[in-house]
Amino acid sequence: MSDNSKSDNSKSDNSKSDNSKSDNGKLLERKFIEGFELLAPDKAIRQIIYHAVEVFSRKGYAGTKIKDIAASAGFSQGYVYMYFKSKDDIFTRIVELASDGAGISVQYAAELDGTPLERITWLTEAFLSQGSIALQHFRLILLQTATSEAIPEAAKLVAKEKIMKPFEHLVPLIIAGQEAGEIIQGDPVEIAVAYFSFIQGLGIARIQTTAAAPFPSTELVLRFMKRDH
C-alpha cells in the first residue's frame, strides 16, 4: 500500500470524526505527517516502516521475518534488504522514529497559539484520530517496551536515550496550565505520565476495536487533569 493510499483510507475512516475536531487538531494531524516525512524522507523507507509496524504488531518481534514485511509492503525481500540489513535494523529504526516522532508531536502543539489546556486539547484530538501517525509512535513505544527481552540491544539503547522526549514540551505546558488555573495541582511529571499512559493504552485499544465501536472522546481523556471551577 502506498503512502497516498494509506492517507486516502485514513481520510475516509476519519470523515465523521473530522466534523467534531477543531481546526487546530486537524492542523496538528497534518504537521504530524509532515514531521514523519522529514524524519524518514525516503518514500520506500516510509512504506517499509508502515508495514513493518503492522507486521510487528500482529506477529510480535520474534515471530516476524523480513519476508513477512516485504510481502505486506508489496516488495521483494531483496528490495527491502537494499534499505535495511536485517529485521533488527528495521525495528531499531522504528523505535528511533517512534521516540523522535512522539517528542516532535508534542512540540508542534506547544508552539501553537492558545492557552495551555487548549493546546493539550488539540494535541489529544490529533492523537486520538484514527490512523494518527502520532498515535502510531506511542503504540510502537509500548510495543518495544512490552517485548523488551526480545528486541535488539540497539533498540533498547535508543529507547532509553530518548524516553523523555515527549515530556520535554508537555511538562512545561502542564505547569503553565496549573499557573493559569486550568489544570489540577500536583506533580506535573506525574500528570504527564498519566496522560501518556492514557494515550498509549488508547493506541492499543484502537487496534483492538472496530471503527463502529465507541471510542473515548478528548473531553473524557482530559477530564482527569482539568481543574474544576
pLDDT one-digit tens code per residue, 10-38: 444 444 444 456 888 888 878 877 877 88
> Is-contact 98 141, C-beta < 8 A?
yes
Burial class (CB in 10 A: 0-12, 13-18, 19+), 145: middle
pLDDT at 149 over 70: yes
Q: How many CB atoms lie within 10 A of CB 75?
A: 18
Selected residue with higher pLDDT from 134 and 5: 134
pLDDT at 106 over 70: yes
pLDDT one-digit tens code per residue, 29-82: 788 778 778 888 899 999 999 899 888 877 878 889 999 999 999 999 999 999
Residue (of 8, 7, 82, 9) closest to 44 by Cα position: 82
Selected residue with higher pLDDT from 126 and 72: 72
- Look at residue 184 in the predicted model and tell me its pLDDT: 97
pLDDT at 126 over 50: yes
